[in-house]
Structure 1
Amino acid sequence: MTNHEWTPYIPSGNRTRVVEASCCNQYQLLQEGGAYVVTLLLDATPIVETARGSTGRARQVFDDLVALHLIATQEHRP
């Protein structure tokens, strides 16, 4: 998976929990109620999202984005 559709991030539900973040906190895997979402952050604020839905789908997209990020920025480490 390398082509992801990004849309503006609009929080849903009463509680948002960070499940995991990438090495430099560029990407976050969030849980909002029963749904999961991957966000891209700018200045520590989620601005866009992708892969909203099941934990399996969101986890796969998050892992893919983190792997691509690590390849692109060899100096970063998880």
Structure 2
Amino acid sequence: MTMPTWYPHQRRSPRPLRVREWSCCDEYQLCSEAGQYFILRRAADGGYEETSRGIYTRTRAVWDELIAELARSHRPPTP
């Protein structure tokens, strides 16, 4: 998987964003806001970063890849 590019999250609507799903350890959140979908994660400075803002199918594909990679990283090593 090619790692997505992360950008500082900037609100695009005064309405609250909706968290649609979150990863097991809350590292990632699949969100929607103002008719667009995107993925959030915590930034080192305490804010949020986002990636893959756009239509659901494209954002969902990136989400599925991130979750699969996260699951692989949480598996114990095989002896």
Q: How does 1:30-69 map to 2 (within 5 A)?
A: 30-41=31-42, 47-69=48-70
Paired letter, 1:74: R
Q: Percent identity?
A: 36
The list of structure 1 runs, each at least 4 consecutive aligned residues, that deviate by more than 6 angstroms after superposition, is none
Task: State how far apart, in whole Å, the 2-side matches of 1:7 and 1:21 are.
Answer: 19
The alignment yields a C-alpha RMSD, in angstroms, of 1.9
CA–CA separation in structure 2 for the residues paired with 1:17 and 1:10: 14
- Are the equivalent residues in 2 in contact too, given 1:20–1:30 (CA < 8 A)? yes
Gaps spanning 5+ residues in structure 1: where? none
Name the SS for the 1:36 alignment partner. Answer: strand
1:54 Cα deviation after fit = 0.4
Equivalent position amino acid for 2:73 in 1: A
Q: CA deviation at 1:41?
A: 2.5
- The amino acid that maps onto 2:18 is R
* Paired residue secondary structure (1:15): coil
- Give the partner amino acid of 2:2: T
Name the TM-score, length of structure 2 as normaliser: 0.81
> Which has more radius of gyration?
2
Scaled by the length of structure 1, what TM-score is found? Answer: 0.82
Alpha-carbon distance in 1 for matches of 2:72, 2:2: 13
